[in-house]
Amino acid sequence: MKSWQKKSGSMTEDKGIQRQGPISQSGDGPSLVQSILMLFVFLSVVFGCAAAGGYITSQSVNTWYVDILKPEITPEAWVFPIVWNVLFFLMGLAGWLVWRAAGSLNAAGAAMSIFILQLMLNFSWSLVFFGLHALGLAVVANIVLDAAIALTIYLFCGHSRLGAFLLMPYLFWSLFATWLSFAIWRLNP
């Protein structure tokens, strides 16, 4: 049976958890302030990775990348930063949702470890493709990244289905990027 209580000027559902105002709560869960701070931490980490990869990409995207052969289905250059910014935002939000659902980074364990691994693999693809211009190795890096993203989604499901779902566009884009990498490698032996 649900009962409603008036506490701290807001309505809260009484499920044995007493709210101690709008900023903190008793129990194991994070306070609102901690939660907001961790959201910024997750977004900062993923956008930090994006910035590092973006820096490497920027060194070649208007020079070497312009001159290599690409398949006709390759998106226009302006599409990539828009898509990647949306995907990195979704990654940060997904990681944060898993952290919230698990209650701590330690409780999220393997899911967070693989999440960080796939971020490092994402960066490494930029390094291999745009930094080293190693097209064949970039295909291998992309395949490993795809597997890490899929594993992250699987592990995230154990904590937050929404968090896992938010990574699906990233997986689809990465699979498309794998195909593009392969096609570019084949066109530029």
β-sheet bridge partners, residue 12 = 5
Give yes or no for residue 21 having a pLDDT over 90. no
pTM value is 0.83
pLDDT tens for each residue of 44-88: 999 999 999 999 999 998 899 999 999 999 999 899 999 999 999
| DSSP code at position 61 | T
Instruction: Compute the half-sphere exposure of residue 73: CA atoms within 13 Å on the CB side of its CA.
Output: 8
Residue 12's Cβ-side half-sphere holds a number of Cα atoms within 13 Å equal to 15
In this structure, of 31-35, 80-84, 87-91, 152-156, the range with the lowest mean pLDDT score is 31-35
Inform me whether the pLDDT recorded for 13 exceeds 60: no
Query: How far is 174 from 146, CA to CA, in rounded Å?
Result: 6
Q: Hey, which residues does 13 pair with through a beta bridge?
A: 4
E strand or H helix that includes residue 5 = strand 4-7
- Compute the average pLDDT of residues 142-165: 98
Segment 105-124 mean pLDDT: 95
Q: Which domains does the chain have, with CATH numbers?
A: 30-187 (1.20.1260.100)
Distances (CA, A) of 135 to 20, 32, 110, 151: 56, 46, 31, 24
The CA distance from 148 to 95, in Å, is: 14
Q: DSSP secondary structure string, 81-95?
A: HHHHHHHHHHHHHHH
27 falls in which pLDDT band (50, 70, 90)?
low
State residue 101's pLDDT score: 94
Q: What is the DSSP string of 7-41?
A: ETTEEEE-SS--B-SSS-BSSSSPPHHHHHHHHHH
Q: What is the mean pLDDT of residues 104-116?
A: 93
* Half-sphere CA count of 41, side-chain side, radius 13 A: 13
* Amino acid occupying residue 166: L
Mean pLDDT of 154-176: 98
